[in-house]
């Protein structure tokens, strides 16, 4: 946890104010297709770990509020960038698990009931630390595959890489447009 979130602490120390996180995720929401992008509205931390565990850091809050982890203004900018690039962005709740195995179909059925739309193995620790440091956060998932038991076939890392490869130009366009809008604010 300390290692994965070190970069966020370093960026905050350099004076960065806003952070856009990206990840690959499995689609739980049945309306999602491989290659879709999902703007995170919230998350569920099922990693079994929290990056703020351990010794308190002087000057930083220990009990960090996560009521609005993903900043509404940055989310709006992402949707605006989606419109400009003619890319329909999904929105939803990201559930973070530790991995590195993929989930079982029973787990995915349970996550559906918990209110999750996509599942992945990252992002939440970074978002929590960013909020502790007072950064505004936005995050976007590339839905690389239907989650276990949803798409009727087995999961593989090769499929994740293949989908990411297919949509990388779209992703780059979206992020470039987002950064232009961000700069124009």
* Helix %, strand %, coil % of the chain (to 5): 40, 25, 40
Minimum CB separation of residue 168 from ligand HPA in Å reads: 15
**Per-residue x/- track, 68-107, ligand HPA (CB under 6 A):** ----------------------------------xx----
Residue whose C-beta lies closest to ligand HPA:
26
User: CA-to-CA distance for 88 and 84, rounded, in angstroms?
Assistant: 10
Binding of ligand HPA at residue 145 (CB under 6 A)? yes
Residues numbered 107-136 forming contacts with ligand HPA, rule: CB under 6 A: 119-121
Rg value, the chain, Cα: 16
In the residue annotation, 103 being an active-site residue is answered as yes
Torsion sign over Cα 33, 37, 41, 43: positive
User: CA-to-CA distance for 82 and 122, rounded, in angstroms?
Assistant: 23
36 vs 103, beta carbon nearer ligand HPA: 103
Minimum CB separation of residue 140 from ligand HPA in Å reads: 13
Catalytic residue among 2, 76, 103, 107: 103
Minimum CB separation of residue 105 from ligand HPA in Å reads: 11
Cβ–Cβ under 8 Å, residues 116 and 143: no
**What number of other Cβ atoms are within 10 A of residue 87's Cβ?**
17
Active site residues: 103
């Amino acid at each position: 946890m300390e290692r994965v979130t070190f970069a966020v602490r370093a960026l905050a120390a350099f004076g960065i104010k806003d952070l856009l996180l990206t990840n690959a995720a499995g689609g739980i929401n049945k309306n999602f297709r491989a290659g879709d992008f999902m703007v995170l509205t919230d998350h569920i931390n099922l990693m079994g770990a929290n990056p703020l565990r351990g010794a308190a850091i002087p000057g930083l809050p220990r009990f960090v509020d996560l009521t609005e982890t993903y900043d509404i203004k940055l989310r709006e900018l992402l949707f605006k960038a989606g419109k400009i690039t003619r890319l329909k962005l999904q929105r939803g709740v990201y559930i973070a698990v530790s991995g590195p195995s993929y989930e079982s179909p029973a787990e995915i059925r349970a996550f559906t009931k918990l209110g999750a739309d996509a599942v992945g193995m990252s992002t939440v620790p970074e978002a929590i630390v960013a909020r502790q440091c007072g950064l505004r956060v936005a995050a976007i998932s590339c839905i690389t595959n239907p989650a276990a038991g949803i798409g009727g076939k087995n999961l593989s890392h090769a499929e994740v890489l293949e989908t990411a490869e297919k949509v990388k130009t779209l992703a780059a366009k979206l992020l470039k447009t987002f950064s232009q809008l961000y700069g124009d604010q």
